[in-house]
């Protein structure tokens, strides 16, 4: 008898303030609520997750003083009434890793230890359904899957630009880009292992920039799944026109 399929869940940390984002135009709203093509950045970031049938549920980790999420819920209920039933919320923390841990705790009692959890940035609106499906397919590769696939996987793309090391505003060295990849999201790991990895990081007072780094600390490398270089993160206000152009050029949403 074959073992039951591992279910897929998603956690979206959305408690950040986006210090590098000029929010004057947003009356102090975080960057994930910036307007983008008739919706908000976070609505676009959730779009592929909501449409993917293998995603059972999505936990959004919000700031305690978030006043904007209820409007997003209303908008999603109109545009994606059945899919929006997947959404649930929890209170996030002061850092990304705190918010992801809060999202994982919200899944306690819902997710099995070996279920998969996708972590996706709230301000990464150009994720395509094709890339998301490829990521899930990579960890559902069956009994012949590699160790890295069993541990998890992340979307990434090879570094193609020349990379410089800077010191005091001066380019002092050219870094060999062979084997270098840009990490994107979603990143996908087993529920219990990811929770352990992030709990350890927080207990030790360490900071990691993504979930894959936390897993690497436990000796659990992840498979790189080549994703679109246009899966950009909105960090500054000037990123919004680029995101708009990318979304206009795709038909995945």
Residue 231: band (very low, low, confident or very high) from pLDDT cuts 50, 70, 90: very high
* Short-list 158, 149, 121, CA closest to 220: 149
pLDDT of residue 252: 46
Single pTM value for the model: 0.92
Residue-wise pLDDT for 122-136, tens only, equals: 999 999 999 999 999
Q: Stretch 5-27: mean pLDDT, rounded?
A: 76
Residue-wise pLDDT for 87-133, tens only, equals: 999 999 999 999 999 999 999 999 999 999 999 999 999 999 999 99
Which residues are within 8 A (CB) of 131 and not within 5 positions of it... i.e. 6 or more apart?
Answer: 48, 155, 225, 227, 228, 231
Q: Which domains does the chain have, with CATH numbers?
A: 8-249 (3.90.550.10)
Give the residue ranges of DSSP H helices in 107-190. 129-139, 147-151
Residue 19 has pLDDT above 80, yes or no: no
The conformation of residue 3, written as its DSSP 8-state character, comes to: P
């Amino acid at each position: 008898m074959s073992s039951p399929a591992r279910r897929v869940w998603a956690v979206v940390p959305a408690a950040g303030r986006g210090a590098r984002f000029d929010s004057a135009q947003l009356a102090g709203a975080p960057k994930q609520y910036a307007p983008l093509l008739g919706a908000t950045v976070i609505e676009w970031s959730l779009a592929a997750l909501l449409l993917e049938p293998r995603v059972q549920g999505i936990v959004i980790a919000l700031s305690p003083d978030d006043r904007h999420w209820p409007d997003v819920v209303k908008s999603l209920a109109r545009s994606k009434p059945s899919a929006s039933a997947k959404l649930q919320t929890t209170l996030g923390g002061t850092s990304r890793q705190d918010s992801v841990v809060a999202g994982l705790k919200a899944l306690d009692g819902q997710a099995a230890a070996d279920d998969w959890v996708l972590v996706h940035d709230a301000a990464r609106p150009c994720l395509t359904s094709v890339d998301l499906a490829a990521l899930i397919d990579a960890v559902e590769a069956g009994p012949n899957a590699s160790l890295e696939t069993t541990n998890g996987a992340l979307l990434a793309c090879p570094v193609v630009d020349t990379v410089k090391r800077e010191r005091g505003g001066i380019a002092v060295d050219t870094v060999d880009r062979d084997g270098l990849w840009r990490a994107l999201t979603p990143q996908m790991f087993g529920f219990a292992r990811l929770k352990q990895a992030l709990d350890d990081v927080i207990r030790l007072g360490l900071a990691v920039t993504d979930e894959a780094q936390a897993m690497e600390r436990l000796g659990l490398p992840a498979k790189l799944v080549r994703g679109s270089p246009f899966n950009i993160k909105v960090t500054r206000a000037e990123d919004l026109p680029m995101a708009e152009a990318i979304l206009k050029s795709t038909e995945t949403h």
